[in-house]
Amino acid sequence: MKATLVANLTQAWQTLHQQGLLPDPNPERIEVVSTKDPKHGDYACNLALVLAREANLNARDLAEQIIQNLPENPDLLSTEVAGPGFINFQLRPEAKAEIVDQVLSQATNYGTRPPGSEQRILIEYVSANPTGPLHVGHGRGAALGSCLARILEAAGHTVECEYFINDAGRQMDILAISVWLRYLELCGEPVIFPEAGYQGDYILDIAADCHRTRGDVWRASFENIRAGAPDDGPDEDGHNMYLDFLILRTRDFLDETIWTELASVAVDTLLERIRRDLDHFGASFDYWQSERELLDDGKVEQTIAQLREAGHLYELEGALWFRSSEFGDEKDRVVQRSNGQWTYFATDIAYHADKMARSYGTAINIWGADHHGYAGRVRAALQALGIDPERLEILLVQFASLYRGKQKISMSTRSGEFVTLQSLQHEVGQDAARFFYVMRKSDQHLDFDLQLATEQSVDNPVYYVQYAHARICSILERAKDEEINIPEDPCDLSPLTDEGERALQKQLSRYPDAVLRSAQEREPHHLTVYLRKLAQEFHAYYNAVAVLVDELPVCQARLRLIMAVRQTLGNGLNLLNIDAPESM
RNA sequence: GCGCCCGUAGCUCAGUGGAUUAGAGCAUCGGUCUUCUAAACCGAGGGUCGCAGGUUCGAGUCCUGCCGGGCGCGCCA
């Protein structure tokens, strides 16, 4: 309907253009909106207000002229000028009711665009370091990414998802030493565990596994390893020299293959668990890209060589720097340390260059807000490589602070203090957890109160929406029991005259916009807001009007209406990967 | 100090440059189950949209400055 109105308005604009009153028509400037207040009709357009200035005309007069030149539209009851110069369209009741048949005939496709009609998009999300289990802080990215993937698909994009595994660098050494020291303890060695090692219980589990399968073969004397080590704890610069010392000595002591195996056993175990948790959470991935592999395949060297050839690198104090400041970054960045090792930034450049070369129109990264300073340098690198940095979208997700009542829970992977995503799902449930995560704008801080989510889970808005769906199913079930003929095909909808029925029809017609807007803005919360509104209108209607009435034509029209509501609720919940239950 | 995000009801938050009256939920108070599920509905109270300017037909929404909060500013990942 909106599209038809835009077409009508374009035609009127064209006529006025030929009369020399208006500039060339541009349909993109025509904004038709669904009105909030029924007094303003069903749709409103501000075109006259927008053009009044450049046409040098009074807005109301111009609106009148536009209306004079609109073509016949049989769906319209009235078209009038209102307020300062709005054009309000009032639909005929039959035209409004069409939405019900439209929803039901399109069924699961209602609100979607044809698959593959838009861009090909890669979403990279979560990508948590494989040094510990996922915790509630990762949940927000997981929920956002997986919802966005579905929403973008519904909007006609072709979407693939990727997890970048940071399985290289210093953190792998810390992981390996942490596991190995716990292993030594199991062998009976007295160990002084560094405070900067990974403290979590999951390290013990991995160590126990190693000890069970391998016995004492990796054992060494801790006393020998530790000989000459500095005291545990951070120095003035915050570095833990004790930890570094242990890592160095151990790598000397143990065969390199054992060291590598230690790290890979730990990473594999943790990744397995991460995969499982994400799967249970409803987040799935097409690709798992390893950082290690990029290094081993020489991709990093290649990409850096490319930068060097283009003259974007220089040496300073033994390190290799990238002139990112010439591409809008705050300052230049090191890509290769003076000890010859690549920085994480170097592998990340290679990763992004590789990603952008894989024929995606757009790549979306979902990052925690603490990485925001990083966006500039990655974009700078892409630009230096001749890749349009606009093709990389970086969505920053603000942190979720976790509370148990008024008590804030601080989390850190290293200290082992955190609430895992798994336990959150266990306590709150997948549906509520996902809904809770995406119901706020992602650039908004989120307070996640475990107490509220568990103790008062009945007040959680997700149940409100699901309940509406279940109630409709229940009515339909009852109708079947009473052998009322449930109309499978369009029937006469003229009995739908109640205010609540009009409101529901209007709300149904807004669904495609909610999906599209969520997709365009990369903000699933528009969809949650929409679903709550639709559920609210249904609950109000339910309490005001009985569906199963004796008068068959009325009853059937109402059944069609609530079936359309059920379909739309189900479609929306499905995009959030939340269950639409038939009973509760 | 510099950069990014945020500031809307007691609390948590929606709000697409639009319409005499800025909306939800929670919390508070008062009503509604012999009826299709009361996990629901109806109603009441509660606001200088952080402050001050500016842009324009029109600003919670855009711009500038200030105040307050969060995060980031490594040859860590």
pLDDT in tens, A228-266: 999 998 877 778 899 999 999 999 889 889 999 999 999
pLDDT in tens, A374-384: 988 999 999 99
Scanning the structure block, which residue is given the tokens 């409100």?
A: A464
- The reply to whether A486 Cβ lies less than 7 angstroms from strand B is no
Write down which residues 309-328 in A have CB closer than 7 A to strand B.
316-319
pLDDT in tens, A495-523: 998 889 988 999 999 999 999 999 999 99
- Percent share of chain A, pLDDT over 70: 96
Amino acid A557 CA to nucleotide B17 C1' distance, rounded Å: 40
pLDDT above 80 (res A171): yes
Instruction: Give the integer Cα–Cα distance in Å for A409 and A196.
Output: 20
- Average pLDDT across chain A, whole number: 90
Q: At what angle are helices A59-68 and A2-18 packed, to 10 degrees?
A: 100
Amino acid A68 CA to nucleotide B33 C1' distance, rounded Å: 54
Amino acid A504 CA to nucleotide B30 C1' distance, rounded Å: 29
Instruction: Using the CB atoms, write b or e for A194-204: b if 16+ within 10 Å.
Output: bebbbbbebbb
Amino acid A19 CA to nucleotide B60 C1' distance, rounded Å: 40
Under a CB-based contact definition with an 8 Å cutoff, are residues A291 and A166 in contact? yes
Phi, psi angles (nearest 5°) of residue A179: -65, -45
pLDDT for res A452 = 67
Q: Cα angle at A100 between A531 and A568, to 5 degrees? A: 25
pLDDT above 60 (res A456): no
Amino acid A98 CA to nucleotide B67 C1' distance, rounded Å: 53
Under a CB-based contact definition with an 8 Å cutoff, are residues A493 and A97 in contact? yes
Beta carbons within 10 angstroms of residue A84's beta carbon: 13
Amino acid A32 CA to nucleotide B57 C1' distance, rounded Å: 19
- The reply to whether A161 Cβ lies less than 7 angstroms from strand B is no
Residues 6+ apart with CB under 8 A from A435: A460, A461, A462, A465, A528, A576, A578
Q: How far apart, in Å, do the first and last CA atoms of chain A sit?
A: 36
pLDDT for res A372 = 85
- The reply to whether A375 Cβ lies less than 7 angstroms from strand B is no
Average pLDDT over residues A423-450: 83
pLDDT for res A207 = 97
Q: Which has more pLDDT, A52 or A569?
A: A569
Indicate the range of A1-15, A440-454, A492-506 predicted with least confidence: A440-454
Write down which residues 413-452 in A have CB closer than 7 A to strand B.
439-441, 443-447
Task: Identify which of A67-81, A454-468, A533-547 has the greatest average pLDDT.
Answer: A533-547
Amino acid A261 CA to nucleotide B66 C1' distance, rounded Å: 57
CA A127 to chain CA centroid, nearest Å: 13
Write down which residues 13-72 in A have CB closer than 7 A to strand B.
33-37, 40, 44, 46, 49-50, 52-53, 59
pLDDT above 60 (res A424): yes
Chain B: bases < 7 Å from a protein Cβ: 2-6, 12-16, 18-20, 24-27, 35-37, 39-42, 56-58, 69-77
pLDDT above 90 (res A159): yes
Amino acid A443 CA to nucleotide B50 C1' distance, rounded Å: 19
pLDDT for res A510 = 92
pLDDT for res A322 = 95
pLDDT for res A330 = 85
pLDDT for res A470 = 96
pLDDT above 60 (res A301): yes
pLDDT for res A449 = 72
Phi, psi angles (nearest 5°) of residue A169: 90, -175
Nucleotide nearest to A83 (CA to C1'): B19
Residues 6+ apart with CB under 8 A from A509: A1, A34, A96, A99
Three-class DSSP labels, A388-448? CHHHEEEEEECCEEEEECCEEECCECCCCECCEHHHHHHHHCHHHHHHHHHCCCCCCCEEE
pLDDT for res A154 = 96
Amino acid A85 CA to nucleotide B8 C1' distance, rounded Å: 29
pLDDT in tens, A356-368: 999 899 999 999 8
Average pLDDT over residues A193-203: 91
Instruction: Give the integer Cα–Cα distance in Å for A287 and A221.
Output: 41
* DSSP labels, A109-121: GTT---TTSS-EE
pLDDT for res A32 = 84
pLDDT for res A453 = 66
pLDDT in tens, A23-66: 888 777 788 888 877 778 888 888 888 888 777 788 888 888 88
Amino acid A112 CA to nucleotide B67 C1' distance, rounded Å: 46
pLDDT above 90 (res A105): yes
pLDDT above 80 (res A141): yes
pLDDT-based confidence at residue A455 (cuts at 50, 70, 90)? low
ipTM: 0.94
Instruction: Give the integer Cα–Cα distance in Å for A18 and A409.
Output: 67
Q: At what angle are helices A430-438 and A256-281 packed, to 10 degrees?
A: 90
Give the containing element (helix H, strand E) for A18.
Answer: helix A2-18
Write down which residues 95-124 in A have CB closer than 7 A to strand B.
none
pLDDT above 70 (res A118): yes
Q: Which residue is nearest to nucleotide B75 (CA to C1')?
A: A337
User: HSE (CB half, 13 Å, CA atoms) of A181?
Assistant: 26
Helical spans, DSSP H, in A112-231: 136-154, 170-187, 201-214, 222-226
Report the candidate in A573, A556, A467 with the shortest Cα–Cα distance to residue A511: A573
Average pLDDT over residues A437-448: 81
Instruction: Give the integer Cα–Cα distance in Å for A150 and A75.
Output: 34
Instruction: Give the integer Cα–Cα distance in Å for A71 and A73.
Output: 6
Give the containing element (helix H, strand E) for A462.
Answer: helix A461-481
Average pLDDT over residues A387-401: 86
- The reply to whether A369 Cβ lies less than 7 angstroms from strand B is yes
pLDDT-based confidence at residue A458 (cuts at 50, 70, 90)? low
